[in-house]
Chain A
Amino acid sequence: MNDKKREPISDRRKFILSMARGAGLAALGGLVWSAYVDEVTASTLLLRPPGALAEKDFLKTCIKCGLCVEACPYDTLLLAKPGDNKPLGTPYFIPRDVPCYMCTDIPCVPVCPTGALDEESVTTNGVLDINSAEMGLAVIDAESCIAFWGIQCDACYRACPILEEAITIDYAQNLRTGKHAYMTPVVHSDACTGCGMCELACVTEKASIFVLPREVSMGKAGSHYIKGWDKSDEKRLEDAEMKTTTTKLSEKSAMDSLNDSEDLY
């Protein structure tokens, strides 16, 4: 035993053990670190500057330099600070405070060094076109919107920079009074850029029309449902994929299923 103790520890043993210690520490640190990164990148309710890539790609491509924030002449864009509970250092805006005023030269996009704000996505026929931006989509809470109560209000409609395309007014008879009309706003996703000027203009205590990221506010019908009366909608069938699903059939007869009550309890 004593002989073994006096034996000098070989360099190889020292090296291997120090590597093992490093690996152990790295595993522990990596666990905490990756859990934190997972947590902070999970937030999906952020409105990004015009031309931003899809959230997942945006998070990996944005270098957090703040050049877009500095370029914004209205101080619309903010850079997430520690404590904001948003992915740190990434740009976002809160339309109820300051909406995007949709500058025609879009100063925030060309300054982006990494392409996280993609100039191409806000360019139409070689010219910057803010109307093609897709920052989000306004949605209306019809229960708190006073226009749906029958009170006359078109604040959002008037505030919309793409009036008559992104927001239109629907007319319907007000059966409660019998002699008035409901004049209710409708948002159209093909034109709405998500600038949020409607949200700022909304007169209710908490905005009844508000912008959400498009992935959050929009559903998707999928290729199972096609407007057969609309030739252009049929084009979506070109991307349709075939999918075969199998359902396990019950081996019992139909009568048994009525008599058998075991699933009820």
Chain B
Amino acid sequence: MKTVWNNYRYLIMRRVVQVGLLFLYFGGNAWGWTILRGNLSSSRIFDMVPMSDPYAALQMLAAGVLLASDLLIGVAVATVFYLLIGGRVFCSWVCPVNMITDAAAWLREKLEINRVQNGKVPISRNMRYWVLGLSLVISAAMGVAAFEFISPISMVHRGIVFGLGFGWAAMLVIFLFDLFVLKNGWCGHVCPLGGFYSLLGRFSLIRVHHDEEACTLCMKCKVICPEPQVLYMVGKETIPVLSGECTNCARCIEVCDDDALGFSIRKLVDNKTTGDKDESNK
């Protein structure tokens, strides 16, 4: 039991947070709970603090909307929050699509699809930044927030809180895409919201830190990581993971048997281990 907790503690916590948030939103609509109302596009916490999706607001800005003050406050709250705890913490701790794509990634590993499809991937992980840019161009050209009309994230989340409709089809398509077409396809290559939070997350405080001296080069972390390119320093350098594409999902920390990976607050950790103030060690 102790090892189960040790090997899955963050995964368990993430699922509790993800499902718990969904449940609170659902209760907000179904039973009038006031803890969380609205959905991931814009919410009210305890009927007081607004929290809004900064990427949706950015698209609205591109579409030519004068942003209301409530929205701006909500965007500021969300931005500061994710700047503190890591941009893509949204992806791995909040977003409901993460559960779908994690399930696909798990099944992909079990069915050994990765062994068959390990050639060159057809699209690059930078695709998400193209989609991000494209969404802003289309928003400006069409005068509406373009991604919000096709976002499977909103479809799934809104679907669970307000009624699903054909939203299950979006869930199924993403699951099959990740399972058969591309490993970590949606979250790791296409999703512009993930791209947005990657850009935001470059500056965030909480980081996974790698300790090269403890590392035994088993590479379990790179196998489990949904964004393995961020772990380029494993076995090479003692530095924190500074790429914004890291989702702080902490799977690498759990699978590491050598305590070579752990959460840290940026800068502080460098002072402790190397006495070096420079955060990047470059």
Contact = CB atoms under 8 A, between A and B. Distances in A.
Nearest to A29: B134
A63 B165 contact: no
A79 B148 CA distance: 14
Nearest to B139: A60
B137 A30 contact: yes
B162 A66 contact: yes
Chain A residues touching B, range: 35 or more
A103 interface: no
B60 A26 contact: no
Given A40-B149, A114-B60, A63 B144 contact: no
Contact of B41 (A61, A65, A70): A65
A63 B148 contact: yes
A34 B136 CA distance: 11
Interface in B119-151: 123-124, 126-127, 130-131, 133-134, 137-138, 141-146, 148-150
B100 interface: no
B258 interface: no
B158 A79 contact: yes
B165 A87 contact: no
Contacts of A66: 29, 38-39, 158, 161-162
Given A88-B155, A113-B71, A114-B67, A69 B162 contact: yes
Given A82-B167, A89-B41, A89-B158, 10 more contacts: A25-B127, A37-B138, A60-B145, A63-B60, A65-B38, A65-B43, A66-B29, A82-B165, A113-B68, A114-B70
7 contacts: A37-B142, A60-B64, A65-B52, A81-B167, A88-B150, A113-B44, A113-B71
A33 interface: yes
Contacts of B53: 63
